[in-house]
Amino acid sequence: MTLSTKTEDEKLVWFRSDPEQKMMFQGGRFTRVNKFCSLLLAVIGTVLFFLILIPLHSTYFAAMFTQRGAVPYVIVLFFNWSISILALKASKLRLQRAALKCPLIPSNPEFVLSPSTVGEVTKRMYEFVDEPRQFLLFNRIDIALSNLRNLGRVSDLDEILRSQGVQDESIVESSYSLINAFVWAIPVLGFIGTVQGLSLSIGGFGAVLAKTQELSEIKSSLQNVTGGLSVAFETTLQGLIAALVVQLVLSFVKSKEEEFLDDCSEYCVRNIVGRLRLTPFEMDSAS
């Protein structure tokens, strides 16, 4: 296989493969998600959901979302926004994992990584990807290799890779901050809807008591209040179910991303630290 064929057929082109770039949005770095892109997907999903409910307007299920005030609309939007973020992250994670399959170090068992061979490894890196800084694995390796000429011990390179690994973990963790906020906010919205429903029901019952003293009318009004209470708690049910689904999907995607970070660390130890050799001359030059 020639180099040109390899470049065209096997190269990881971030600008063409990133899901956000495909939708004409600026792609987030690594597995970070563009908030505007995910919001657009959430709005589309929310509109489609309520369009589907139009033919079902006479059903109890449709009434739960369309006749309970504004809170259910916000719950559905936040739910779709969370799922959109997680779906984009999962897609971006698949692209990031593809970098693990790239044989960055030559297969020749006699090849050793040293300051004199850094250029060869860097050249191979650009043969496999168009933008190494957009790939978590290659960005970590590129930072370590750029400092290799200033290092005097193998442990120094290992320390740089470990430090960059900690930073990458921090970046990944911060990318979930918006979803964590939604997991907290969605049930709270359900409770707010319930409080609103309770206020309306109790307020209506209080108005009846002020207008009449007849026991039969009070009894009828009390039945309406208890019926209104059951309706009020529906928003809490919606919020809890939505938050549960988001939390389950979040846990699954996050576990996959944590596995990816572990695989990146293992890749660096096996292919970078394990192949590094510093000759006495190079060690003297570094010092």
Taking residues 197-218, what's their average pLDDT? Answer: 63
What is the per-residue pLDDT for 233? 81
Report residue 103's pLDDT band, with 50, 70 and 90 as the boundaries: confident
Q: Is 205 helix (H, G, I), strand (E, B) or coil?
A: helix
Neighbours of 181 (CB within 10 A): 12
Residues 272, 112: contact at Cβ < 8 Å? no
pLDDT tens digits for range 89-102:
999 999 999 999 88
Q: Is the pLDDT of residue 16 over 70?
A: yes
Mean pLDDT over each residue of the chain, to the nearest integer = 83
What is the C-alpha to C-alpha distance for residues 79 and 81, in angstroms, rounded to an integer?
Answer: 5
Residues 186, 245: contact at Cβ < 8 Å? no
pLDDT tens digits for range 17-55:
899 999 989 988 899 999 999 999 999 999 999 999 999
Ramachandran quadrant class, 29 (left: phi over 0; alpha: psi -120 to 50; beta: rest): beta
Q: Is the pLDDT of residue 109 over 90?
A: no
Report residue 283's pLDDT band, with 50, 70 and 90 as the boundaries: very low
What is the per-residue pLDDT for 44? 97
Taking residues 269-284, what's their average pLDDT? Answer: 67
Which of 177-181, 215-219, 269-273 shows the lowest mean pLDDT across its residues? 215-219
The whole domain housing 23 covers: 3-286
Our count of domains for the chain comes to 1
Q: Is the pLDDT of residue 1 over 90?
A: no
Residue ranges of the alpha helices (H) in the chain?
3-9, 14-17, 19-22, 35-53, 60-66, 71-98, 118-128, 136-146, 154-174, 177-211, 215-271, 280-286
What is the per-residue pLDDT for 96? 94
What is the C-alpha to C-alpha distance for residues 4 and 66, in angstroms, rounded to an integer?
Answer: 57
Report residue 184's pLDDT band, with 50, 70 and 90 as the boundaries: very high
Helix axes 71-98, 35-53, angle to 10 degrees: 130
Please give the model's pTM, rounded to 2 decimal places: 0.84
Which of 99, 73, 74 has the alpha carbon at shortest distance from 14?
99
Report residue 205's pLDDT band, with 50, 70 and 90 as the boundaries: low
pLDDT tens digits for range 259-268:
999 999 999 8
What is the C-alpha to C-alpha distance for residues 85 and 182, in angstroms, rounded to an integer?
Answer: 11
Q: What percent of the chain has pLDDT over 70?
A: 79
What is the C-alpha to C-alpha distance for residues 217 and 229, in angstroms, rounded to an integer?
Answer: 18
Which of 69, 17, 99, 83 has the alpha carbon at shortest distance from 201?
69
Report residue 110's pLDDT band, with 50, 70 and 90 as the boundaries: confident
Report residue 282's pLDDT band, with 50, 70 and 90 as the boundaries: very low
pLDDT tens digits for range 124-160:
888 888 888 999 999 998 888 888 766 656 667 788 8
What is the C-alpha to C-alpha distance for residues 142 and 119, in angstroms, rounded to an integer?
Answer: 11
Residues 88, 19: contact at Cβ < 8 Å? yes
What is the C-alpha to C-alpha distance for residues 129 and 104, in angstroms, rounded to an integer?
Answer: 10
What is the C-alpha to C-alpha distance for residues 242 and 263, in angstroms, rounded to an integer?
Answer: 32
Which of 100, 179, 178, 107 has the alpha carbon at shortest distance from 136?
100
Q: Is the pLDDT of residue 78 over 90?
A: yes
What is the C-alpha to C-alpha distance for residues 13 and 22, in angstroms, rounded to an integer?
Answer: 12
